[in-house]
A and B are shown apart, each in its own frame.
Chain A
Amino acid sequence: MAKTKEQLPKILTANDLLTGATVYYTSAGTWSSHAADALVANSPEAIDSLTKAAADAFAANLVIDQAIVDIDAGGEIRPARLREMIRATGPTVRLDLNKSISPIK
């Protein structure tokens, strides 16, 4: 049997239609500006449901540029690719303008 690449957990992200801000799909079916709030999909079924949520939100004109992206395995939510990490936190050259992955409590 062919060896398959390890599947990383996934989250759904997009940009808010009105503001263009980076947003994440949550378990409550809402969109949060913090990646830590994202609903994590670990199974093909869960990924299918993120795909459907993405299509629904796009059709409802809530978000655009929706994408399902990898996060690191285990522990806290941390986008696996640098591009997604920068989307989640902001420009690395303007830390004064950045947001955190988790909401500030």
Chain B
Amino acid sequence: MYAYDTFDQTIVRERTSAFRDQVQRRLKGELTEEQFRPLRLMNGLYLQLHAYMLRIAVPYGTLSVKQLRKLAEIARKYDRGYGHFTTRQNIQFNWIKLEQMPDILAELAEVEMHGIQTSGNCIRNVTADHFAGVAPDELDDPRVVSEIIRQWSTFHPEFSFLPRKFKFAVTGAENDRAAVQWHDIGIQLVKGDGGEVGYRIYVGGGMGRTPVIASLIRPFLPKDQLLSYLEAIMRTYNRYGRRDNIYKARIKILVRDLGPEEFTRQVEEEWAEIRKTDVNLPAEEEERIRRFFSPPTYETISAPVADYEKAKSENAAFARWSETNVHPHKIPGYAAVTLSLKPIGGIPGDATAEQMEGVADLAEQFSFGEVRVTHIQNLILADVKQADLFTLWQKLSDIGFATANIGLVSDIIACPGLDYCSLANARSIPISQRISERFEDLDRQYDVGPLQIKISGCINACGHHHAGHIGILGVDRNGQELYQVTLGGAGDETASVGKLIGPGFTADEVIDVVENVVNTYLGLRAPKETFLATYRRVGVEPFKENVYAGR
């Protein structure tokens, strides 16, 4: 993985030291809250319902064991013993004290981490396919371009005060596991006519109160032109994006208002100017960054691996877990493994300090010392020998991360909601817990098949409800929590916006509604047809009819 150079280290240390001074001045009363608030937000420190919340960037979701152990230490020493992995591949701590923030940032800087650009109207943490570098269907490693964008966008003076926040996602495969079409800029690595690798550029996707699937504005961008083209997009947005209305300030609104064609024309016009400058990255610099993502030293293993096949044939629970939580790897004899942070009745994305340390130990033992965070709020060990899977499964069971439910009905995304978040209107976590308990039987989940439920506690959509096959949005109606249900959203390469089925439901009702929707699907599906495929074939009406029958 990428290792800081002197420049990276210097800017993070300088920022940490500056923030220590700013906190001291705030505590002495030399800075007002109005002056201090933007400074703390620039370091990822929010104020939530019960305490300050610190959001720490995990660039494209990649963590070393050293970093994960440090996060565990911070959880134990400065928080209440746990952290929350987010849909932006970051981690949040919920119980932070302002007076301890300088020490926390100093400790994070020791392991090349920080909270810079995890808040504010700037370019946020770049997210990427969590199977980067190991997926058999990958054309090229998305971490390389993600790291280039991270470096280019960090403290970029021109893009520090954008009209609104700005999110990038990158996929190196046709199967989009990074939801690129839901981002302000989505990048897909593709092949050009001559077989050379370049970029497909999507712009103007986003969730929130106006869900929009991004527009494809450039089917192929030559690799060496990336930064000048991105700069042209950012400049067009920075100049014309709306600053008068926070609800209309994201780039998706500008693209929609201008129309994708006119927006593209303006970008290309700007690009024609910028291309003449030397903003693009020299090839040798890209190569230097690429070397950080060189594959580890794999053993030569002939597949199938007899021990693994034997363990599956002898242990049904392990076989089931292998089917749901173990993923193909480009190297024979290896696999990528998803650690489910969605135990039945648990809090999606939460991990205790002990669990983090347990995962770090397992990553060290089985996966070259690296861990990935997924935007679905799980963790991944990307490079596990198939021969080690049975032992790994047993050890994961010990720490509570071996639920065989990846991609199934209880692998739910849920934002912190009204239990923690000052923006929320309704609770998300209890709804996810109750749905997962309702579908506790893993055989039943397995029979239902791939189904993504995503829950947000307010219209800001941190829980990605618009992209859920079943989406749930919590709202406040005269002091009561109500939940609206959408169907047919998707975050993959067939991205679509979920459709609202009708009036909302109480917390008790919405659990029954989800079950009703699932049962309706089971009654309608063709053999081997997934929930999303059935929904797309039959539309919303049969689901609506069943849900509202007798209401």
**Interface assignment of B420: CB less than 8 Å from any CB of chain A:** yes
| Complex contact A82–B481 (CB within 8 A) | yes
- Given A20-B50, A22-B49, decide whether A92 and B427 contact each other with a Cβ distance below 8 A: yes
Question: For residue B52, which residues in chain A have a CB less than 8 angstroms away from its CB?
Answer: 20
B416 (CB) vs chain A CBs: closest residue: A91
Interface size class of A (residues with CB under 8 A): 20 to 34
Task: Kindly state the separation between the CA atoms of A58 and B433 in the bound complex, as whole angstroms.
Answer: 38
A63 (CB) vs chain B CBs: closest residue: B33
**Interface assignment of B479: CB less than 8 Å from any CB of chain A:** yes
| Complex contact A93–B429 (CB within 8 A) | yes
| Complex contact A19–B33 (CB within 8 A) | no
Interface string of A1-36 (1 = CB under 8 A from B): 000000000000001011111100000000000000
**Interface assignment of B347: CB less than 8 Å from any CB of chain A:** yes
**Interface assignment of B96: CB less than 8 Å from any CB of chain A:** yes
Question: For residue A90, which residues in chain B have a CB less than 8 angstroms away from its CB?
Answer: 50
- Given A20-B52, A21-B50, A87-B49, decide whether A93 and B98 contact each other with a Cβ distance below 8 A: no
Task: Kindly state the separation between the CA atoms of A15 and B242 in the bound complex, as whole angstroms.
Answer: 32
| Closest-CB distance, A34 to chain B (whole angstroms) | 14
Question: For residue B251, which residues in chain A have a CB less than 8 angstroms away from its CB?
Answer: none
**Interface assignment of A81: CB less than 8 Å from any CB of chain B:** yes
| Complex contact A20–B47 (CB within 8 A) | yes
> B50: which of A64, A80, A91 is its contact (CB, 8 Å)?
A91
Question: For residue A87, which residues in chain B have a CB less than 8 angstroms away from its CB?
Answer: 49-50
| Complex contact A21–B51 (CB within 8 A) | yes
**Interface assignment of A61: CB less than 8 Å from any CB of chain B:** yes
| Closest-CB distance, B477 to chain A (whole angstroms) | 12
> A19: which of B29, B98, B481 is its contact (CB, 8 Å)?
B98
**Interface assignment of B430: CB less than 8 Å from any CB of chain A:** yes
Interface string of B85-117 (1 = CB under 8 A from A): 000000000001111000000000000000000
Question: For residue A92, which residues in chain B have a CB less than 8 angstroms away from its CB?
Answer: 419, 427, 430
Task: Kindly state the separation between the CA atoms of A80 and B478 in the bound complex, as whole angstroms.
Answer: 12
Interface string of A62-83 (1 = CB under 8 A from B): 0011000000000000001111
**Interface assignment of A86: CB less than 8 Å from any CB of chain B:** yes
Interface string of B28-45 (1 = CB under 8 A from A): 010001000000000000
| Complex contact B51–A19 (CB within 8 A) | yes
Task: Kindly state the separation between the CA atoms of A86 and B418 in the bound complex, as whole angstroms.
Answer: 8
> A22: which of B50, B347, B427, B481 is its contact (CB, 8 Å)?
B50
> A64: which of B29, B47, B49, B433 is its contact (CB, 8 Å)?
B47
B419 (CB) vs chain A CBs: closest residue: A91
Task: Kindly state the separation between the CA atoms of A17 and B51 in the bound complex, as whole angstroms.
Answer: 10
Question: For residue B29, which residues in chain A have a CB less than 8 angstroms away from its CB?
Answer: 60-61
Question: For residue A58, which residues in chain B have a CB less than 8 angstroms away from its CB?
Answer: 33
Question: For residue B80, which residues in chain A have a CB less than 8 angstroms away from its CB?
Answer: 97
Interface centre among A22, A64, A83 (most CB of B within 10 A): A83
Interface string of B413-430 (1 = CB under 8 A from A): 000001110101001011
| Closest-CB distance, A13 to chain B (whole angstroms) | 11
**Interface assignment of B317: CB less than 8 Å from any CB of chain A:** no
> A18: which of B99, B419, B430, B481 is its contact (CB, 8 Å)?
B99
Task: Kindly state the separation between the CA atoms of A19 and B419 in the bound complex, as whole angstroms.
Answer: 18
- Given A61-B29, A91-B419, decide whether A15 and B47 contact each other with a Cβ distance below 8 A: yes
| Complex contact B419–A20 (CB within 8 A) | no
Interface string of B434-476 (1 = CB under 8 A from A): 0000000000000000000000000000000000000000000
Task: Kindly state the separation between the CA atoms of A61 and B96 in the bound complex, as whole angstroms.
Answer: 18
Question: For residue A19, which residues in chain B have a CB less than 8 angstroms away from its CB?
Answer: 51, 97-99
Question: For residue B33, which residues in chain A have a CB less than 8 angstroms away from its CB?
Answer: 17, 58, 61, 64
- Given A82-B479, A91-B420, A93-B347, decide whether A20 and B427 contact each other with a Cβ distance below 8 A: no
Kindly identify, within residues 1 to 44 of chain B, every residue whose CB is under 8 Å from any CB belonging to chain A.
Answer: 26-27, 29, 33
| Closest-CB distance, A7 to chain B (whole angstroms) | 16
B81 (CB) vs chain A CBs: closest residue: A97
B53 (CB) vs chain A CBs: closest residue: A20
| Closest-CB distance, B103 to chain A (whole angstroms) | 14
| Complex contact B430–A83 (CB within 8 A) | no
| Complex contact A93–B50 (CB within 8 A) | no
| Closest-CB distance, B165 to chain A (whole angstroms) | 21
- Given A19-B98, A19-B99, decide whether A86 and B481 contact each other with a Cβ distance below 8 A: no
Question: For residue B418, which residues in chain A have a CB less than 8 angstroms away from its CB?
Answer: 82-83, 86
Interface centre among A65, A83, A91 (most CB of B within 10 A): A91
Task: Kindly state the separation between the CA atoms of A22 and B48 in the bound complex, as whole angstroms.
Answer: 10
Question: For residue A18, which residues in chain B have a CB less than 8 angstroms away from its CB?
Answer: 27, 97-99
| Closest-CB distance, B353 to chain A (whole angstroms) | 14
| Complex contact B479–A20 (CB within 8 A) | no
- Given A64-B33, A90-B50, decide whether A20 and B97 contact each other with a Cβ distance below 8 A: yes
Can you name 26 A-B residue pairings with CB atoms under 8 Å? A17-B26, A17-B98, A18-B97, A18-B98, A19-B97, A19-B98, A20-B48, A20-B50, A20-B96, A20-B98, A21-B50, A21-B51, A22-B49, A61-B26, A61-B29, A64-B33, A64-B47, A65-B47, A81-B479, A82-B481, A83-B418, A83-B424, A86-B418, A92-B427, A93-B430, A94-B419
Binding site for A on B (CB under 8 A): 26-27, 29, 33, 47-52, 80, 96-99, 347, 418-420, 422, 424, 427, 429-430, 433, 479, 481
Q: A22-B49, A91-B50 known; 14 other A-B pairs, CB under 8 Å?
A: A17-B26, A18-B27, A19-B99, A20-B47, A20-B51, A20-B52, A20-B96, A61-B29, A82-B418, A83-B424, A86-B419, A90-B50, A93-B429, A97-B80
